[in-house]
Amino acid sequence: MMEGCGKCDSGQIEEKLAEVLGQWEQDRSRLIPILQQTQETFGYLPAEAIGSIASHLGMTDVQVYGVASFYNHFRFIPLGKKPIQMCMGTACHMVGGPLVLEALERALGIKVGGITEDGEFSLDRVACVGCCGLAPVMVISDKIFPRCTSTKVDEILVNLKMEEGADVSAAGQGDSSQDESERSG
């Protein structure tokens, strides 16, 4: 299960990476499973991990990076708290997916593969999410947003931020009303 470590310092990364590498023999054929476990541990492949993995397997950093960068599965930056995936399958592409993706990039101030400065959102393009009848589709934190348009992007993002604020406010209100009932009781 992914623990995530977007804000780990070098010492924490080295410590967790030593645990991962300690489970694997020093065999080049283990490179992809080691990369997978490393990404599962950190949520991405930290730069420090590439060198350590290379050392462990008797490879160069370039060889390890070459393999990791070949596969779309591997990330070199952490995911945001709310990862956004924009479908670019044929159906989504044909009915405006690229326009929605451009609107997302503008609204978030990041490009595909990036993460917002506050770490709240990351943006990725995916081949297909399997909801072709609802195209174009975007997925935010496993929630599907069907029939997206570039004009709906801001509304969706504002609603997400409002929901988060409402959750925080509701939690705060619950505590204060409990305090009042305790005082009056």
| CATH classification of the domain holding 19 | 1.10.10.1590
Q: Which of 70, 98, 118 is the last residue of a domain?
A: 70
Same domain, 27 and 101: no
Same domain, 55 and 99: no
Residue range 19-28, pLDDT digits in tens: 999 999 999 9
pLDDT value at 181 more than 90: no
Q: Which of 48, 70, 92 is the last residue of a domain?
A: 70
Same domain, 91 and 65: no
Q: Which residues of 2-15 are buried (b: 16+ CB within 10 A; e: fewer)?
A: eeebbebeeeebee
pLDDT value at 74 more than 80: yes
Same domain, 108 and 172: yes
Q: What's the domain count of the chain?
A: 2
Same domain, 51 and 92: no
Of 5-9, 43-47, 100-104, 118-122, the least confident: 5-9
Expressed as residue numbers, the domain containing 63 is 10-70
Average pLDDT over residues 119-134: 92
Same domain, 49 and 94: no
Residue range 59-71, pLDDT digits in tens: 999 999 999 999 8
Same domain, 47 and 100: no
CB count, 10 Å around CB of 157? 19
Decide if 76 is inside a domain.
Answer: no
Decide if 118 is inside a domain.
Answer: yes
Confidence grade of residue 3 (pLDDT, cut at 50, 70, 90): very low
Same domain, 102 and 42: no
Same domain, 92 and 168: yes
- What string of H, E and C letters represents the secondary structure of 43-107? CCCCHHHHHHHHHHHCCCHHHHHHHHHHCCCCCCCCCCCEEEEEECCHHHHHCCHHHHHHHHHHH
Decide if 4 is inside a domain.
Answer: no
Decide if 122 is inside a domain.
Answer: yes
Same domain, 135 and 96: yes
pLDDT value at 41 more than 80: yes
Q: Which residues of 84-106 are buried (b: 16+ CB within 10 A; e: fewer)?
A: bbbbbbebbeebbbeebbebbbe
Provide the residue count of the chain: 185
Decide if 75 is inside a domain.
Answer: no
Average pLDDT over residues 153-177: 68
Same domain, 58 and 92: no
Decide if 1 is inside a domain.
Answer: no
